[in-house]
Amino acid sequence: MKPWKKSSLAMASLILLAGGVIGCGNGSKDGTSSPAASPTGTASQTGSASPSESPPGEQVTIKFAGWGDPSEKEVFTKLIKNFEEKYPNIKVNYLHIPADYVGKMNTILAGGDAPDVFYVPDGDFGRWVSQGLLQSIDKYMESSQIDTGDMWDSALVRYRYDGSVTGKGSLYALPKDIGPTVLYYNKDIFQKMNVPFPSADTPMTFDQLLDTAQKLTVRNGDKVEQYGMGPIWWEGFVLGNGGKFLSDDRKEFLLNGKEATDALQFAVDLAHKYKVIPDSRALQAMNDGQMFETGKLAMIIQGRWMVPNYRKLKFDWDVAPLPANGNWSGWSGSVGLGISSKSKHADASFKLLEYLSGPEGQKEQSLMGFAIPSFKSMANTDVFLQPGQKPEHAQVFIKAAESEIPGPWTNLPNAKWWDMLGQNLGPMWEGKRPAADLLNELKPKIDQAIKEGNPAIFK
């Protein structure tokens, strides 16, 4: 399933990229859906089961909800069957929601009939946990066999909440997956154009990316027949240039800083000044994914979740780190597995969560090719690296998982500030407003949105 990935903010002139996402899953394009603004509530801090928790050994039935394409549904159907054989006193009803998962889950959660265990996109975690919809799993983790020390820290941290901010405090979900973002490239085009392949070890600088994209762009008069690069998932570029979205205490909007606005302006210039990536008009007839798959695009930013599809392509391809003016950087998406705060069978629910997030569940998902295991030790084995299959440099995903941080949409429980940002960047993406001017203008409005939406951090 397309994971975690969070769609990049809407580019009116480029494309609305989920940035993000994901990879893994998607309630939105990347696996991480864009969080909606929501009131701040009080999350369940105890993790205690409902008073009606069934006695040990009694037959119980729990409901599990998630999304995914047919291959993912097949894997989870198999995992649930194996789980039921291991725990014969627990029956699992699998609710598969193939489309608009977040929208439908919002309705279900509001109706008070939540599944016991369900997918939690990282972009929706803050809203759901702050509304008290998720149960802390701290008490269960104390006796769990899951080795959290072997898990990617950036995957775990995004499912913590301390009552005011995410990223700290109690654990409310375990990662089902983590989806680092990387640069995919068409090796056949590179060879045809006599352009060296990107390094699998060292990120291209922005200048190197521009030079490479220019060499790979083919024009016929004013018409571009082949683009060197796909639309930019700009959040990674901001991080790759040393920019910040928020202050360390999450109270102030910092995207108007020079490092951030320089990165944003570079992303805009790639489309409007250098014309090496398709603008919104070019994308009307064919989106960037279709362009890459049909050989009209040499490089594209995507997550691990595209590997199963790309393995069916007729041309050769590989992956490289995201471009950055410095060390490896960028964002990763994730989908977690959480337990409803209203579950009457929390003990049984945690057993399922533990099984799906544990070694067996992670192995089955990784073998599908779309996800990197949550366990670092497993990621460094053939279960994930899958020698003999594309991409040749699968280790790029491992280094990306080590280096990339959760997307900015995960930083605060109430994401009104993030929504406001996305709704106001259109003039910049259209090339009508310089990035620095627009971001300086937006700063006081977004600072106010942060304060209004997240009053607990200002107490």
Residue 311 lies in a domain: yes
Count the domains in the chain. Answer: 2
Q: What is the pLDDT of residue 69?
A: 87
Please compute the mean of the pLDDT values over residues 178-194 and round it to a whole number.
97
Can you give the residue range of the structural domain that contains 126? Answer: 60-179+333-406
Q: Are residues 105 and 69 in the same domain?
A: yes
Chain segment 260-284, per-residue pLDDT in tens: 999 999 999 999 999 999 988 889 8
What distances in angstroms separate CA 445 from CA 186, 204, 254, 435, one per listed residue?
42, 35, 12, 16
Averaged pLDDT for residues 38-54: 37
250 plus 309 within the same structural domain: yes
User: Is 170 domain-assigned?
Assistant: yes
Closest by Cα among 337, 42, 36 to 164: 42
* Identity of residue 81: K
320 with 396, same domain: the answer is: no
Give the tens place of pLDDT for each residue, 100-115: 999 999 999 999 889 9
* Whether residue 346 is found in the same domain as residue 264: no
The per-residue pLDDT for range 288-311, each reduced to its tens digit, is 999 999 999 999 999 998 999 999
Q: Is position 381 within any domain? A: yes
Q: In this structure, are 206 and 271 located in the same domain?
A: yes
Residue 437 located in a structural domain? yes
Residue 285: its pLDDT value, please?
A: 86
Same domain for 197 and 306?
A: yes
Residues 415 and 295 in one domain: yes
CATH number assigned to the domain comprising residue 376: 3.40.190.10
255 & 365 share domain: no
**Helices within 148-250 (DSSP H only):** 153-157, 187-192, 206-216, 234-240
- CA distances to 5, 82, 116, 119, 419 from 278, rounded to whole Å, are 22, 47, 44, 34, 24
Computed over every residue of the chain, the mean pLDDT equals 88
- Confidence band for 429, pLDDT divided at 50, 70 and 90: very high
Q: Is 433 domain-assigned?
A: yes
328 and 215 within one domain: yes
**Residue at 8 is within a domain:** no
User: 177: helix, coil or strand?
Assistant: strand
**Is the domain of 323 the same as that of 280?**
yes
Average pLDDT over residues 424-442: 97
The confidence band for 57, taking pLDDT boundaries of 50, 70 and 90, is low
Structure tokens at 238: 């901001």
Task: Return the pLDDT at 71.
Answer: 86
Specify the higher pLDDT residue, 33 or 210: 210
Count the neighbouring beta carbons within 10 Å of the beta carbon of residue 70.
9
> Do residues 87 and 75 share a domain?
yes
Distance CA 448, CA 252 (A): 9
The string of DSSP codes covering 184-208 is EEEHHHHHHTT-PPPPSSSPPPHHH
112 vs 339 pLDDT, higher one: 339
Same domain, 159 and 217: no
Q: Which stretch of 15-19, 184-188, 256-260, 443-447 has the lowest confidence by average pLDDT?
A: 15-19
